[in-house]
Amino acid sequence: MNSFIKIILLYFLLINSVKAQLASKIDHLLNDKILASAEVGICVLDSKGELLYGRNNKRNFIPASLQKIITNFTALEVLGENYQFSTEIGYTGTILPDGNLIGDIVIYGNGDPSFGSERFQKRPQIATIVQEIVKFIKNKGITCIDGYIISDASYYGTDGTIHSWAWNDLGNYYACNTWSINIHENYYNLYFNLQTSLQKQPKIIGLSPYIPNLTFKNELVSGPANSGDESYIFGSPYTYNRIVRGSLPIGSGDYKIKGSIPDSPLFFAQLVSQELTKNRISNSGAKVEYDQSIKMNEIVLKIKSPMLKDLVQSANLESINLYCESFLTALGKGNRNKGIKETKKFLANNQIDTSGIFIEDGSGLSFWNNISPDNFAHLLLKLNTKYGNKLQFYFPKAGVSGTLSYLFKDKEANGKLWAKTGSMQQVMNYAGFTIGKSGKLTTFCIIINRHMAPNKDIRKIEEEIMNIIYLNT
């Protein structure tokens, strides 16, 4: 027997040993009674694409935020890691010698999801951005504006909410509309004063930033201590009456929840209009153009986003829905459906069969998305080939960062495994990779849908499965 054949035989012996260990340990965990009614799909691959463990691995499931992996890496490949969104401020008409602008101030955006975001503290926040715009307008010699402050949001249009998103999500920050002019990640903070008695209602005490004309009907109740945030804000884009339902825990002090801004392009135009008035530059108020792009005579200021690679890192580590929805529409040059076609082309280019895949959105908030664990595990192998160690930059690290920062604290996989989380009601998923204890790369996807137990209990089982994958590959 020559050495080559010996190596091949050794490889298959090792593979079979790994498969046996994984099957024994993972199957034992999956026998837990809390998974009795659950739909489980798992795929574990070695660096050569050999299936080490599979359970319903080619069956489609609801991916939740695992969908972000696909959107984010499509954006990096198609738009480029150094791509930057841009917001432009200019004017139409003519500036007269006395400084009177016979025309409008126009704010044009192409979808920057980080515009005025608190997430990027080194970048200008809302107040600073508005002041900068006013400064450039004044520097242009404009002392009076005969027209309006217009947000030109025509690039994405009005249809920035996915039709299959749940009604109880739409009024909340994670299901905000996506516009070509976004501000403060399209959310506001709503503050409550907690109560010490279950019989007393949490009271609304503040709103930041202040949204003109936004009203709230408070139907919240107080829940048991440590019951967490079980509140929902009900309302849809372009409507200003909100109902707050659910519960907040009894306790002392204040509590913050986040809601979706009804119309971010209008809100931003209002902020600029108000600041100009404060600076004694009169104007006719704020408007939004959703249908047709406005031609400007001159652009006086351009504000660029961070590079796409940094936005993608935030989107993946912190699971930000808005960012991925904006990426998807940007991929289609302002058209979401074209963005979905680009995404499927990206998958096909990475040898993923898209015939059985259904993509409804970019973030995974829709229950209509469908994809298999096998697709995710194979895509991660392809991404590792392209990015190498750089891939770790874009994924939460076990016990260290993002949505994995609080997991694996007492596990051997702590600091040695990277994965994206995907969770919704009755959905708890992970997809990622590890440099196993043997020093070899392994990719995996664990999807558990339609379980009856709380997500936190399902998460414990999946955490143990991921630790087993690290120890035994």
Cα 132 to chain centroid, rounded? 28
Mean pLDDT across 177-186: 98
What pTM, to 2 d.p., does this model score?
A: 0.94
**HEC per residue, 119-171:** CCCCCCCHHHHHHHHHHHHHHCCCCEECCCEEEECCCCCCCCCCCCCCHHHHC
Long-range contacts of 393-397 (CB under 8 A, 24+ apart): 393/309, 393/313, 394/72, 394/73, 394/312, 394/313, 394/316, 394/317, 395/316, 395/317, 395/419, 395/420, 395/432, 395/433, 396/316, 396/317, 396/420, 396/421
CB burial of residue 106 (10 Å; 0-12, 13-18, 19+): buried
Q: Per-residue confidence at 34, pLDDT binned at 50, 70, 90?
A: very high
Cis bond before residue 237 (omega within 30° of 0): no
Q: Per-residue confidence at 18, pLDDT binned at 50, 70, 90?
A: confident
Per-residue pLDDT reduced to its tens digit, 40-76: 999 999 999 999 999 999 999 999 999 999 999 999 9
Mean pLDDT across 69-98: 98
For 215, the token pair is 């009203």
Question: Would you say domain 3-80+309-471 falls under CATH 2.40.160.40?
Answer: no
Residue 367 has pLDDT above 80, yes or no: yes
Per-residue pLDDT reduced to its tens digit, 323-336: 999 999 999 999 99
Per-residue pLDDT at 17: 79
For 131, the token pair is 């002041």
Residue extents of the structural domains in the chain: 3-80+309-471, 86-158+263-307, 167-260
CATH of 86-158+263-307, one of 2.40.110.10, 3.50.80.20, 3.30.360.10, 3.50.50.60: 3.50.80.20
Owner of token pair 């399209």: 186
